[in-house]
Amino acid sequence: MKKYPSILLLPILLTIISCDIENIINDLQDGKITAKEKLEEVMNKAKSDFAQDAVVASIYGREVSTSGEIDLLNTDSFNAFVYVVQSNSLQANEFYIPVFGSEPIKSPVNFETMLSFIKDSSAKDIMGTVLGTLAVVAIDPSANYIDSPEVLNLLLPRNDVKTFRTANQNSKIDMFLFPGKSIDSTSIINSADWIINFYGDTSSLVLWLHPGNSSGTIDLLSD
């Protein structure tokens, strides 16, 4: 059997190791997540320290990027996905946010905070009604709904969205995922709807995507 000097294998080993290190560094530096990406992790945490029957009632995305992500490493502003968890046995809600490099923690953000970012009065009234039902209504575990990037892919090309964002250069994007039956009067329980709030300093453009999939319709909630 022919033996190769170890000196010849060294460049190959260094190349393999450097690639692995580069991948590890990239993983550690990337704190960007979508709305659904950390859902399982959040629910495991909620079932351990809140309630065994915990289910997700809503997801609130605060200052979501146009790619449908928030960056857990961004400290310049408060951008986060807040997971509203509901317990039937306790008839109560708890709020969680993912943390980079650690398990999710309970969040100080609540329903009142979420409503404060909606400038349009009509949309705020609708959202207030929806939020008030979430202590007893949750998203069905079998619900099939698209993730935050796909939602914005549907909405950003719309003329009204482009017009609003052009007029409000520093506008932000908040996203809300709710169980479908908390918004309308239907008996459908295996759906989830997205409400998207494009907002500037004084105004909002609020759109409702339902029934939570790419074939759904889009309604305007703001005046």
What's the confidence (pLDDT) of residue 213? 52
- The count of domains in the chain is 1
User: Exposure of 183 by Cβ count < 10 A (0-12 exposed, 13-18 middle, 19+ buried)?
Assistant: buried
What's the confidence (pLDDT) of residue 25? 40
Q: Do the beta carbons of residue 95 and residue 82 sit within 8 Å?
A: yes
1, part of any domain? no
What's the confidence (pLDDT) of residue 158? 95
Strands 204-210 and 80-87: unpaired
166, part of any domain? yes
200, part of any domain? yes
What's the confidence (pLDDT) of residue 141? 80
What's the confidence (pLDDT) of residue 192? 86
91, part of any domain? yes
What's the confidence (pLDDT) of residue 23? 39
Give the start-end residues of each E strand in the chain.
32-33, 55-62, 70-71, 80-87, 92-99, 102-106, 172-179, 192-199, 204-210, 217-220
2, part of any domain? no
Which sign does the torsion angle of CA 167, 172, 177, 183 carry? Answer: negative
8, part of any domain? no
**Domain boundaries, position 69:** 33-220
SS3 115: helix
19, part of any domain? no
pLDDT lower than 70: segments of the chain: 1-29, 132-136, 181-190, 211-216, 223
22, part of any domain? no
CA-CA distance, 128 to 126, in Å (whole number)? 5
CA-CA distance, 63 to 65, in Å (whole number)? 6
What predicted TM-score, i.e. pTM, was given to this entire model?
0.78
What's the confidence (pLDDT) of residue 18? 47
User: Exposure of 194 by Cβ count < 10 A (0-12 exposed, 13-18 middle, 19+ buried)?
Assistant: buried
